[in-house]
Structure 1
Amino acid sequence: MKLANRVAALTPSTTLEITAKAQELKAQGHDVIGLGAGEPDYNTPEHIMQAAIMAMKEGHTKYTPTGGLSQLKQAIIEKFQKDQNISYNQKEIIVCNGAKHALYTLFQVILNPGDEVIIPTPYWVSYPEQVKLAEGKPVYVEGLESNSFKITPEQLKSVITDKTKAVIINSPSNPTGMIYSKEELQKLGEVCLEHGLLIVSDEIYEKLIYGENHHTSIAQISPDFKEQTIIINGVSKSHSMTGWRIGYAAGNMAIIGAMTNLASHSTSNPTSIAQYATIAAYTGPQDDVETMRHAFEERLTIIYDKLIQIPGFSCLKPQGAFYLFANVSKAAELAGFDSVDNMVKAILDEEKVALIPGSGFGADDYVRLSYATSLSILEEAIERIQSFMNRKMNK
């Protein structure tokens, strides 16, 4: 049977593909170190799990409103008020089955065939695929390493056409870990306002910030920016709740209403007990969030210095998230490979270390390493990669 054109053109998720290969090798008995999947290695905090258990015991296991429980929407509203001093009402919030689903639903309701969405590179692997599924056209703008992988207002202006509908801003970024400053966001936002572009602000890593850096939401800069912005967020990264699948979107009431209508015919509602768990995540103690953030920062400090000692590896030190995005084009050359992708496959086969090639993020010369795992495992992975490079270079 012939598949629909919309899925035939999809590119499989590189992250999940490499992770599946690593799991296959593990099942065969190999000692595999996976630095691919983007999820914290901590379990969900205890008070959040207890809230889910209590919700089940109290019978909260039925359908909920499509757009999420009123109590959860209120907790999200209070979170925005406290963290960014942005005011929303409940009709401007939709709770979804993860931030990925929030993005998917957003593109489905804003894009018509041929509409363009500007996507800075390097990008999270699902952005272009979701745009294509909505019959839109991804338009790429290269965030140069010399500019910390961030795009400029001039670059943004240069690709705007009469078909441009939206631009995606992901700060802190997956895969680079870089953060847009308030001043940078201000300038990009002015271009978007001038051309009537919707700003899709993916802020899923907002709680994972290091050093003297801080997170600014473009929606908090001005009321005009807020009106033009849809914020995407969730508890997967901040509260180590990847498997609970709760994310949300906040913004223009008409867009949120359309997203809610679509969700009513696709998912009915997010999982009830996961919603009650998320209420506890946002209204309960936040100590575990800071404990996890501190651990990631400590790992980054140690492992970054080791990584850049590997021959042919160079890397900007990330400001947030939990990824290192290393330029390894020189390493591939030194090791005798014609592409970074082939080198990544060889490292997995020979050293049993799973990295994610940058080709999946629109940046062929790079690899992404997640440091959301223990320091001892990270150090072992670096030693194996170092051994691999030494062996290849000494052939």
Structure 2
Amino acid sequence: MINPASRTKPIELSQIRKMFEITNPNAINLGIGEPDFNVPENIKQAMKNSIDDNDTHYTPNKGYIELREAIVDKFKKDNGIETNPDNIIVTVGASEALYMCAQAFIESGDEVILPNPSFLSYEACVKLADGKIIPVDCKMENEFKLKADDVSEKITKNTKAIMLNSPSNPTGAVMEKEDIKAIADLSMDHDFLIISDEIYEKIIYDKKHYSPAKYSDNVITLNGFSKTYAMTGLRIGYLTANEEYTEELLKIHQYNIACASTVSQRGAYEALTGPQDEVTKMVNEFKNRRDLIVKRLNEMGYETVNAEGAFYVFPKIEDKEFVQKAAKAGVITVPGAAFGSNGQNHVRMSYANSYENIEKAMNILEERVVNG
């Protein structure tokens, strides 16, 4: 057997996907971060029309111009970010955008600041680029929020980038405006890059989302359609950055992907320019589910922060066998340690499942794990 590249050896396969692939058809899956809603009908129709119109050829590398123009409008309206179509790249999901950032800007010896805990793909992408991870504690007593003062203490002459994710996967934490702005200021003062993953920006309850690119030029903003429009399998995302950054990012995108799917791009255009009623309904339902799961977990004695965004909770559960016990009982969850050392003694649960299934899952956990 030919030896794999040394940079892949420390990379572990995703604990999330491992739980996703458990074959028990009767298990209630609180492990996967995928909305259980269908793609809105207007978006489906736009994609059907695309196929019927034989819209199946290459697009420009950066994506259809009309979609990029719609993304520009979205950034201005929602995020206060001034950009232009030339500085937009349409990607194969926000995951590709994240990988592009790591490959284009991180190299051996570069330090990359990561919230701890944080989405496991961040660590993998940094390691694949041979970067060095510098974790910053996001503590439960601070509702898992990344604080600018803690980031400041980790900055060195080797700091190349920080990855932000607000709302957060796995904790549901939403960063405060003052911390976003302070980290943006630090990026300018110390000349490092902010890679801002804003894929959950629309799924926020009783808070407001702030983009660091409104306050700093050293930002690459990533987003996509998977979470807001339930378009996970369609693999469509986007990013924006200044002209110099975009040119470097395009090199990775061009030789790896060429362009995102035509059909998905047509759906994405309709998602941005069409009615947003289904998004509002979805977010309201997620809030109801959040309230249910937080209440039930706390009643069981599992201390749980009232997550302000995304569709995850991160209860404190010190039972090392909890995930296995829950799976055996028929409820799939993800061990918190998959998201960093501060995930120890925590479990990630997704409430991207029906209210009825969440209620049933909580009953199972109470009867068969807590009192079993």
Q: TM-score w.r.t. structure 2 length?
A: 0.97
Report if aligned partners of 2:300, 2:370 keep a CA contact under 8 Å in 1: no
| Equivalent residue number for residue 314 of structure 1 | 303
C-alpha deviations, 1:220-247, integer Å up to 9, x for none? 2x3xx1x111111001001110011011
Q: Does 1:354 align with 2:344?
A: no
Residue type of the alignment partner of 1:142: D
Deviation at 1:25, TM superposition (A): 2.1
| Equivalent residue number for residue 27 of structure 2 | 32
Please tell me the root mean square deviation across aligned C-alpha atoms, in Å.
1.2
| Equivalent residue number for residue 278 of structure 2 | 288
Residue type of the alignment partner of 2:352: A
Distance 2:293 2:315 in 1: 12
Q: Where in structure 2 are the equivalents of 1:54-133 lying within 5 Å? A: 54-133=49-128
Q: Does 1:382 align with 2:362?
A: yes
Report if aligned partners of 2:236, 2:268 keep a CA contact under 8 Å in 1: yes
Distance 2:239 2:370 in 1: 47
Report if aligned partners of 2:167, 2:309 keep a CA contact under 8 Å in 1: yes
Residue 314 of structure 2 aligns to a residue whose secondary structure is strand
Q: Where in structure 2 are the equivalents of 1:333-352 lying within 5 Å? A: 339=320, 342-349=321-328, 351-352=329-330
Distance 1:209 1:141 in 2: 23
Q: Which consecutive unaligned segments of at least 5 residues does structure 2 have?
A: none
Residue type of the alignment partner of 1:251: A
Q: Does 1:243 align with 2:223?
A: no
| Equivalent residue number for residue 336 of structure 1 | none
Deviation at 1:7, TM superposition (A): 1.5
Distance 1:217 1:154 in 2: 18
Relative to structure 1, is the Cα distance of residues 390 and 289 closer, same or farther in structure 2, using a 3 angstrom cutoff? closer
| Equivalent residue number for residue 325 of structure 1 | 314
Residue 113 of structure 1 aligns to a residue whose secondary structure is coil
Report if aligned partners of 1:182, 1:218 keep a CA contact under 8 Å in 2: no
Residue 127 of structure 1 aligns to a residue whose secondary structure is helix
Distance 1:144 1:391 in 2: 29
C-alpha deviations, 1:64-91, integer Å up to 9, x for none? 1111111110110011111123211112
Distance 1:199 1:264 in 2: 22
Q: Percent identity?
A: 36
| Equivalent residue number for residue 253 of structure 1 | 243
Distance 2:148 2:354 in 1: 39
| Equivalent residue number for residue 304 of structure 1 | 294
Deviation at 1:20, TM superposition (A): 1.0
Residue type of the alignment partner of 1:355: T
Residue type of the alignment partner of 2:263: I
Deviation at 1:372, TM superposition (A): 0.9
Deviation at 1:138, TM superposition (A): 1.4
Report if aligned partners of 1:91, 1:257 keep a CA contact under 8 Å in 2: no
Residue 263 of structure 2 aligns to a residue whose secondary structure is helix
Distance 1:264 1:228 in 2: 22
Relative to structure 1, is the Cα distance of residues 390 and 10 closer, same or farther in structure 2, using a 3 angstrom cutoff? closer
Report if aligned partners of 2:164, 2:195 keep a CA contact under 8 Å in 1: yes
Residue 139 of structure 1 aligns to a residue whose secondary structure is strand
Distance 2:245 2:181 in 1: 23
Q: Does 1:148 align with 2:143?
A: yes
Relative to structure 1, is the Cα distance of residues 151 and 82 closer, same or farther in structure 2, using a 3 angstrom cutoff? closer
| Equivalent residue number for residue 4 of structure 1 | 5
Residue 32 of structure 2 aligns to a residue whose secondary structure is coil
Deviation at 1:203, TM superposition (A): 0.6
Residue 270 of structure 1 aligns to a residue whose secondary structure is coil
Residue 368 of structure 1 aligns to a residue whose secondary structure is strand
- Aligned residue pairs total 369
Residue type of the alignment partner of 2:309: G
C-alpha deviations, 1:359-379, integer Å up to 9, x for none? 111111111111111111001
Residue type of the alignment partner of 1:12: L
Report if aligned partners of 1:178, 1:319 keep a CA contact under 8 Å in 2: yes
Relative to structure 1, is the Cα distance of residues 160 and 85 closer, same or farther in structure 2, using a 3 angstrom cutoff? closer
Report if aligned partners of 2:221, 2:240 keep a CA contact under 8 Å in 1: yes
Residue 326 of structure 1 aligns to a residue whose secondary structure is coil
Deviation at 1:118, TM superposition (A): 0.3
Distance 1:122 1:370 in 2: 16
Deviation at 1:192, TM superposition (A): 2.0
| Equivalent residue number for residue 217 of structure 1 | 211
Distance 2:96 2:370 in 1: 43
Deviation at 1:131, TM superposition (A): 0.6
Deviation at 1:152, TM superposition (A): 2.5
| Equivalent residue number for residue 154 of structure 2 | 159
C-alpha deviations, 1:260-309, integer Å up to 9, x for none? 12211111111111001100000111111101001111111223211211
Residue type of the alignment partner of 2:211: S
Larger deviation: 293-302 or 151-160? 151-160
Q: Please, which of 341, 345, 351 is the counterpart of residue 365 of structure 1?
A: 345
Relative to structure 1, is the Cα distance of residues 34 and 178 closer, same or farther in structure 2, using a 3 angstrom cutoff? same
